[in-house]
Chain A
Amino acid sequence: MNRITAGRRHPLARYAVLLLALGLVGGFYTLLAPSSERADAAIASGRADDVAEGKKLFQQSCSSCHGLNAEGTAQGPTLVGVGAAAVDFQVSSGRMPLANPGAQAPRKPPAPWVNADTVRQLSAYIQSLGGGPTVPTDEQVDPAKGDKARGGELFRANCIQCHNFVGAGGALTQGKYAPPLHEASPKQIYEAMITGPQAMPVFNDSIITPDEKRDMIAYIVGVREEPNPGGAGLGRIGPVTEGLVAWIAGISLLVLAAIWITAKKRQAHQ
């Protein structure tokens, strides 16, 4: 159940998402229809000017909140200097474009126009505006190359107070929350650390080195993929679910057994 963001579990959420999707698809289709052919052609031919394409994408999908030149508006902060890593994190995890304002932008399926190319183009555009953290290479975030034990120590020192031992997430103040790390890709984990999205603090590369970040990624990915040797994990959130199981399964089963043992056997149909 941790894999499902709670926004999606709200009874009205499906209607909201449906309406939104319809609106987005309809809106973007009319906007993109003339240009998408050219964009596709450009990508196919490998001659794409990423910054220019990214600017177009930005103006279509992001500028209503962040301003035509990413200078920021009352609705959204400036994106000058946030860097490509921030764009890649926010858009690839579906947090941006924002669906509706709230305490915090939830992870959700990315918008229909989002794919590796569009994200790269958008990132390139934002990077061109004022620099900032760049997207890590695959090598930098490869869990296989990290040292889990060392990463675990750093993870426990800096991350679990919000994201929990096993990355199950947790509550923050005033409706904000640290999201679970179950769906975050290694790249997104890295980007989140260097850019500090939303309420999350920044862990820059000069203090927690890229190698150390890779160790942490190795630990997070390793632990979330490891089996539960003791049976069902119960959400791996510890004593709360354990207590519920003790009462709901344990005591109920034993009460049923007590009822069976002491039940009067009816003689009526003997």
Chain B
Amino acid sequence: MSTGNVPKPIASTSSFLDDRLGAGNFLKRNLRKIFPDHWSFLLGEIALYSFIILLLTGTFLTFFFKPSMSHVAYEGSYEPLKGVMMSEAYASALGISFDVRGGLLMRQMHHWAALLFVAGMMVHALRVFFTGAYRKPRELNWLIGVGLLTLALLEGLTGYSLPDDLLSGAGLRITEGVAISLPLVGTWITFFLFGGEYPGEDVISRFYSLHILLIPGILLGLISAHMILMWVQKHTQMPGKGRTNTNVVGAPFYPAFMAKAGAYFMFTFGVIALLGTFAQINPIWLFGPYTPADISAGSQPDFYMGFLEGSLRLMPAWEINFLGFTLPLSVLIPALVPMGVIMTGLALYPFVEQWVTGDRSEHHVADRPRNNPHRTSIGMSAITFYGVLWLLGANDEIASIFHVSLNWTTYIGRVLIFLGPLVTYVITYRICLGLQRSDAAVIGHGVESGVIKRLPHGEYIEVHVPPNEAIEAHVRGKAAVPMIAGTETDEDGIPPKGMRGPLGRLRAKMSRAYGGEKVALDEGHGHGHDEHAAVGPGKDDKSLTR
């Protein structure tokens, strides 16, 4: 390695490290690794940086928090609770809020970072889903992501129970009620989790070790794996000029991407600091200490648990008794089914899509959501399903703020949970096709220039010009959704091999519906180079407005 122009301190440090680590080869290949640029590629970083902020603020909180359920009389500085009996955990959380400088700020930042951690994961997962970035070779990383989301929910649940206030206690009680309803093992799980009868004296310290050690440890491991896989597989890129499935176009890791990532970390940290300063979150001193005897109106879980709350509220009263055993379906179904549908659906989607499309090739160029209308519609339906449950999780606040009948919000929710996803599917599908047509019009007929021209015989037309090269390349990045070749029956009416059983026929049918090109782009039109800058009006009108 020539070190001719390298300043001495850098040269000596780097050779010191390289002599011992052999890091040179790795850095040689990776320092200028190319990262494509798109705003939506930064969404996952919200979750990543929130996690780092959670570790930092969380460590601060552990210095002062006492995860103990032993009873003490509060002697801190918040006057309306003076002398009240409470757990040591709650008393120390109050202490962090009022008797430690910066303690309230750190508590609030920790909580806001937790909300942004989950929200960031959600928007990131949606971006990956809608652009098809989970496709081969990234299925494993997608699965890791689903695991991360599930763990994040658990981490949130164990975390917000820790202060042992009346609000978090309501969440804990519901957790217990759900756990004990499980067939066969319910009472065992509950008695082992709580060290006896609910609430016992153990659950806070047990949740504490899960929350600060076990789950973050697994999260850290999985996040590292997630990042390494992303690094090795290189990031997907949006379709565009010069971008293909075999290259990656963008800025180098060092220095540009590194600086951008650093800036985004600071932004995330700054926004969380802003929220922690100006928006009060989880004011535990107003809630009072936990007792299983009391509850407040409008007790809600944090937003990411809201959909479970909503599904529990939506459910009619079903319970089966047989042979002396009880199956509380009105707890089991809402607690397990929506979560199961969403998480399993997410995990299986890449594989189901492969099965339906028969597509086994690698994909590195992201789909624009409109170009795979069925996937986009399925995604939007899932969002609607989740959204209705989430909304229902706040139906008491909705009823109270907008003065509508609480019971009617439930009745409407029971209908919407089935109708909403269907309607969304149809609407999204039509919107996708509409957008595809407008793309086709831009390619086939150019864009409106804003120039009105009067023809010799008096007719007015608007001049169309070919689109900007970058735009055209972006639009032309569209590829037909793959489908299984030869699913049609032959002349004798016999379907091809593998498509004969009921499952095979279903697969063939789904493949034909899911795959293929819905709206083809005009192939013949080159871009910009040829001289027919203005595309005639008149005959285009129909295709433009259709």
Contact = CB atoms under 8 A, between A and B. Distances in A.
Interface string A241-261: 011011101110111011101
Interface residues of B, number: 74
B298 A257 contact: no
B14 interface: no
A1 B116 CA distance: 26
Contact of A230 (B41, B42, B108): B108
Interface in B263-283: 263-264, 267-268, 271-272, 274-283
Interface string A95-118: 000000001000000000000000
Interface in A225-247: 226, 228-234, 236-240, 242-243, 245-247
Nearest to B41: A262
B39 A258 contact: yes
Contacts of A238: 167, 282, 298-300
A173 B297 CA distance: 12
A174 B38 CA distance: 49
B39 A160 contact: no
A153 B73 CA distance: 13
A143 to B, nearest CB: 12
Contacts of B271: 250, 253-254, 257
Interface stretch (A51-59, A61-69, A164-172): A164-172
Interface in B92-134: 97-98, 104, 108, 111-112, 115-116, 119-120, 123
Interface in B283-305: 283, 286-288, 291, 293-303
B80 A236 contact: no
Interface in A152-189: 152-153, 156-157, 160-166, 168-175, 177-178
Contacts of A161: 294-297
A119 to B, nearest CB: 27
B139 interface: no
Given A170-B396, A246-B112, A251-B123, A149 B280 contact: no
B282 A242 contact: yes
Interface string B373-413: 00000000000000000000011110111111111100000
Nearest to B277: A231
Contacts of A1: 401
Given A165-B288, A250-B119, A257 B264 contact: yes
Contact of A240 (B46, B83, B397): B397
Contacts of A264: 37
A249 B275 contact: yes
B290 to A, nearest CB: 10
Contacts of A246: 112, 115-116, 119, 275, 303
A234 B108 CA distance: 13
Contact of B297 (A152, A163, A222, A231): A163
Contacts of B119: 246-247, 250-251
A219 interface: yes
A223 interface: yes
B32 interface: no
A202 interface: no
Interface residues on A, range: 35 or more
B279 A245 contact: yes
A242 B303 contact: yes
A236 B283 contact: yes
Contact of A177 (B42, B84, B112, B403): B403
Contacts of A156: 166, 288, 291, 294, 296
B contact patch SS:
helix
Contacts of B394: 240
A228 B97 CA distance: 12
A153 B123 CA distance: 42
Contacts of B396: 170-171
Contacts of B408: 175
Contact of A152 (B43, B80, B98, B268): B80
A162 B408 CA distance: 19
Contacts of A168: 297-298
B286 A254 contact: no
Contact of B280 (A164, A229, A249, A257): A229
A214 interface: no
B104 A254 contact: no
A132 B115 CA distance: 52
A148 interface: yes
B81 A149 contact: yes
Contact of B263 (A163, A234, A253, A261): A261
Contacts of B167: 165, 238
A7 B399 CA distance: 13
Interface in B38-63: 38-43, 46
Contacts of B303: 239-240, 242-243, 246-247
Given A174-B407, A238-B167, A261-B39, A231 B286 contact: no
Given A171-B399, A173-B406, A229-B104, A243 B46 contact: no
B334 interface: no
A200 interface: no
A240 B286 contact: no
Contacts of A164: 296-298
B459 interface: no
Given A170-B298, A231-B279, A236-B283, A250 B83 contact: no
Contacts of B275: 245-246, 249-250
A165 B166 CA distance: 9
B406 A160 contact: no
A190 B79 CA distance: 23
B82 interface: yes
Contact of B295 (A160, A245, A257, A258): A160
A6 interface: yes
A185 B446 CA distance: 69
Given A170-B297, A242-B303, A149 B82 contact: yes
B260 interface: yes
B515 interface: no
28 contacts: A152-B288, A161-B297, A170-B296, A170-B298, A175-B406, A177-B400, A223-B286, A228-B283, A229-B98, A230-B279, A230-B283, A231-B277, A231-B280, A236-B283, A237-B298, A238-B282, A238-B298, A240-B394, A242-B302, A245-B279, A246-B303, A250-B119, A253-B271, A254-B46, A254-B267, A255-B123, A262-B37, A262-B39
Given A170-B297, A173-B406, A261-B267, 6 more contacts: A161-B297, A170-B298, A228-B283, A229-B104, A236-B286, A245-B275
Interface of A: 1, 6-7, 103, 148-149, 152-153, 156-157, 160-166, 168-175, 177-178, 219, 222-223, 226, 228-234, 236-240, 242-243, 245-247, 249-251, 253-255, 257-259, 261-264
Listed from nearest, the 3 A-B pairs whose CB atoms lie closest are A170-B297, A243-B303, A230-B280
